Amino acid sequence: MFDRKVRKWVSVLAGEASAAFSLHLGSLGCFDCRLSQLTEEALVRDYFRWRQEDAHRNALNSHCYWMLRKTGASVKEATGQLSRLSIADKNELLFQHGINFGRLPGWQKRGIGVFWENYEKPAVKPKTGEAASANRRRLKVEFDLPIRDEYTAFMEKLIRP
């Protein structure tokens, strides 16, 4: 498809995600996209580990930012206040407003995982009527991804099933 042109894939995937999300939401949504051509298993594992940590950092900042905005801070004020805070200070800021960031669902802190999983589907042989099974593949959505070393082990199982 598209003669494996990465630029084309990126534009089409971002466009499809934006359109589907906008239609579902009933309001405008805009996505970007990136394709990473990683040639070694270690690079894949490290990339996804970094993305999970980045998602966690972004989630903490977003929760803090929108909490400050809801309390009346302007864009400039909220952004300025957050730029001076450590991770511990950001957690404390949320806690002072009744939000325990550590107790939020994993998907709100680290995102979700979508990956292929193999499964065995019960079947029947059409000619004999005997019970059988068929190996199939389906997309699985994981809302509670593990963290740290458990996440690395989880990724290694996906890379080398």
pLDDT in tens, 17-76: 999 999 999 999 999 988 888 999 999 999 999 999 999 999 999 999 999 999 999 999
Based on the domain organization, do 105 and 64 belong to the same domain?
yes
Considering its fold, how many domains does the chain have in total?
A: 2
Tokens of 120: 């065995």
Based on the domain organization, do 64 and 31 belong to the same domain?
no
**Cβ contact 32:14 at 8 Å:** yes
Q: Is residue 3's pLDDT more than 90?
A: no
Based on the domain organization, do 1 and 12 belong to the same domain?
yes
Mean pLDDT confidence for 71-91:
97
Q: Is residue 11's pLDDT more than 80?
A: yes
Based on the domain organization, do 139 and 108 belong to the same domain?
yes
The letter for the amino acid at 105 is P
Based on the domain organization, do 15 and 61 belong to the same domain?
no
Mean pLDDT taken over the chain? 93
Tokens of 106: 């994993």
Based on the domain organization, do 41 and 24 belong to the same domain?
no
Based on the domain organization, do 2 and 63 belong to the same domain?
no
- Give 151's pLDDT tier (boundaries 50, 70, 90): very high
46-76: buried (b, 16+ CB within 10 Å) or exposed (e) per residue? eebbeebeebbeebbbebbbebbeeeebeee
CATH, residue 103: 3.30.70.3000
pLDDT of residue 7: 83
Based on the domain organization, do 27 and 50 belong to the same domain?
no
Based on the domain organization, do 112 and 155 belong to the same domain?
yes
Based on the domain organization, do 111 and 46 belong to the same domain?
yes
Based on the domain organization, do 3 and 77 belong to the same domain?
no
Range of the structural domain that residue 58 is part of: 36-159
Based on the domain organization, do 98 and 150 belong to the same domain?
yes
Q: Is residue 1's pLDDT more than 80?
A: no
